[in-house]
Structure 1
């Protein structure tokens, strides 16, 4: 019996995700699938459209056997830490044989040698990244530029290296590369696989007549009051409709403007400076822009903060860390580098129950199905994030605010 690992956000789960799931399972020949999924907040620094329980339910209906939560400490991070945390969890299960991700490249021919090279990253590369950022370049652009330069310099003679800069311009290639780097650094025996990304690109608008759209376009459609029916499987559509009817979505970053405004009104610059990713005087700039915004909106704050150096995504993550009071001390590179400390089970199928039994014998981390019976600093961050997220519902009930404590894993 073989098991496939998939890393996802399913925000929401759409037809493109179903295509990837089927292709990945076919390519791997796996009998079962474990999904590592972001919780209430995502890698781009946004709240998920609907709760992690609802998205877990979608994943199980699609055919996933077990869903594990990626701790918020890794979920709301640049690609490097997002990938490291997720791959570490799959490796820690002790039962995952392969990892499959989508990519624009559609093969590992160019991605894997580049990942093997970058996994041996030296101080010179870090210095080059820092020097590019000192010129006002954003971290993603600085990283891809420095990585491409180092990669090309490693080739000698007339041999022409693959165009690393072009590879890294594609978002799925870039994230996939970091999955491969994490596998190398962990010394994992999981076999990497990739399937060509199909359909709409990340920022592509909806295409008439197509059944595939990006999650970004679908979320935008939801906010505009449109129907996502052409782009979602029936079970996702049904779960999404149920959550909307109950006032539990779609949740947006703007829904947190009141608690964020409270934070900015009651914290000094020195206090804000202690928060994760609050670097280079951003706390002073944040308070200056906040003071002159009328009316106060999250989007207005982001537009005021945005610059060539700070991307929209980077700033959204900063605001989420501010909202959740994530400190630099809690999320140091040293602590993140130790990897997650537990396997938090969000849901499982009947076959997933058997996987859980295997994991309890083979996993290298504690398997947590009842958070109230396990304590860890990172898990406390997860529980707090879930409560803050639920507070944005139309009329949040106790069972929703404390769902992680009161409700068992989702079973389908």
Structure 2
């Protein structure tokens, strides 16, 4: 069964995601799809709107066949390791023939050409160029684009323009990860349409809005949900209405976790904060100095106080997520991350996905985890903890929902 892989967050699943799914199946000629999805926290360092089970249900209802969880160890990482973790999972299934991602350019050839020059990982020259760009005050994405553009054999302007696009930059890392793994998976790109990655408003006309705009509408309550309805598949709208009514939606995003986050930061000395991933170059002291001077005890106020041109909001949010979840230690080192995820965690599957799972019994390079109780691994422990912390912030938290990893089977009804 020819199968295409997708790397997603579905926060929440909207019409743009549905279009990407359909086009991925079309251009790959695949009969089935496997999605590797971030769990309770996204790559931008934000708590997901809904639980990972609810988002998996949305994906399956829209036509995805198998949903696997990207461990939080990789979900809360910069592009290099986020991509490596997700691609490693697709490769480890042994059933994925191609992977398709959305990008601003919609072209795979320029990314493959640049990746071929960078194969083998970031060179010492690349790392030095990146360091210099960061020291010059550029944000990480801008610095990476500038440094990588110097690796393209004289076509730096074209490379810099390409890597100025967030999804093209992520696409480059997908291609690099495939090469690093010597994977037989074929990379494919689909051009993003109508809604840009950071578009914050629902567009007038059309049916596609960015996830950012959809979440902003949902933060306005019931009226916002109805305003967002035209940009959502009916199945996603149904799940959103159900979860909102049950008190299982983080419409306020980070602010729902403000109290435990501030407690985690307040009770740690700067030298302890320095051990948290992403806390480098004095950020721990900047946070410690900002806390007593906040105009109000909230995450937005904290981000505004510590943000600079050099440190993007995304990086700072990842740092805060790591601090909230008490992430530290050798698991987050490059050497450990280079070992990749150590299991394939199943969140849900369709009837076709059930067949994929049967095939994976023969092809999978990693253990397939259907029940969390059947697997003991430090990476999985982090996933369970992250889901419990996320679930505790819902307006109506329930212990069995916080620990659904133990109590609930994979989603098969949608």
CA distance in 2, matches of 1:384, 1:171: 29
The residue that corresponds to 1:179 in the other structure is: 174
Q: 1:189 corresponds to which residue? A: 184
- The aligned residue for residue 208 of structure 2 is 212
Q: Secondary structure at the match of 2:5?
A: strand
Cross-structure match for 1:118: 118
Q: In the alignment, which residue of structure 2 is the partner of 1:335? A: 336
Partner of 2:297: 296
**Cα drift, residue 328 of structure 1:** 4.1
Matched-pair contact (CA < 8 Å) for 1:129–1:146: yes
User: SS at 1:359's partner residue?
Assistant: helix
Shift in Å, 1:118 = 2.0
Give the equivalent residue in structure 2 for 1:136.
137
1-structure distance, mates of 2:288, 2:329: 19
With 325-334 and 59-68 compared, the bigger mean Cα shift is at 325-334
Q: What residue in structure 2 maps to residue 280 of structure 1?
A: 281
Partner of 1:9: 9
Q: CA deviation at 1:150?
A: 2.4
Deviations 1:94-126 (CA, angstroms, capped at 9, x unpaired) = 110000111111122212101221223311111
TM-aligned CA deviation for residue 132 of structure 1: 1.7
TM-aligned CA deviation for residue 398 of structure 1: 1.7
Seen in structure 2, the aligned counterparts of structure 1 residues 270 and 64 have a Cα distance that, compared at 3 Å, is same
TM-score by length of 2: 0.96
Does the 8 Å contact 2:88/2:341 carry over to 1?
A: yes
Cα distance, 1:85 vs. partner? 0.4
Per-residue CA deviations over 1:205-246 (Å, capped at 9, x if unaligned) read: 321112100000000011123121110000000000100001
* Contact 1:56–1:410 (CA under 8 A) maintained in structure 2: yes
Aligned match of 1:60: 60
> How far off its partner does 1:315 sit?
0.4
Distance 1:342 1:364 in 2: 9
Kept in 1, the 8 Å contact 2:104–2:191? The answer is yes
> TM-score normalized by structure 1?
0.96
SS of 1:69's equivalent?
strand
| Per-residue deviation, 1:395 | 2.0
Shift of 1:161: 6.5
Residues 161 and 263 from structure 1, CA distance in 2 versus in 1: closer, same or farther, beyond 3 angstroms? Answer: closer
Partner residue, 1:229? 229
Please name the residue that 2:106 is paired with. 106
CA contact under 8 A between 1:110 and 1:162: conserved in structure 2? no
Aligned residue for 2:331, secondary structure, equals coil
- 8 A contact 1:260–1:323 mirrored in 2: yes
1: CA distance between counterparts of 2:34 and 2:187?
15
State the distance in 2 between where 1:265 and 1:404 align: 30
Preserved CA contact (<8 Å) 1:222 1:250: no
User: What residue number does 1:165 align with?
Assistant: 160
> How big is the shift at 1:329?
2.5
Does the 8 Å contact 2:250/2:256 carry over to 1?
no
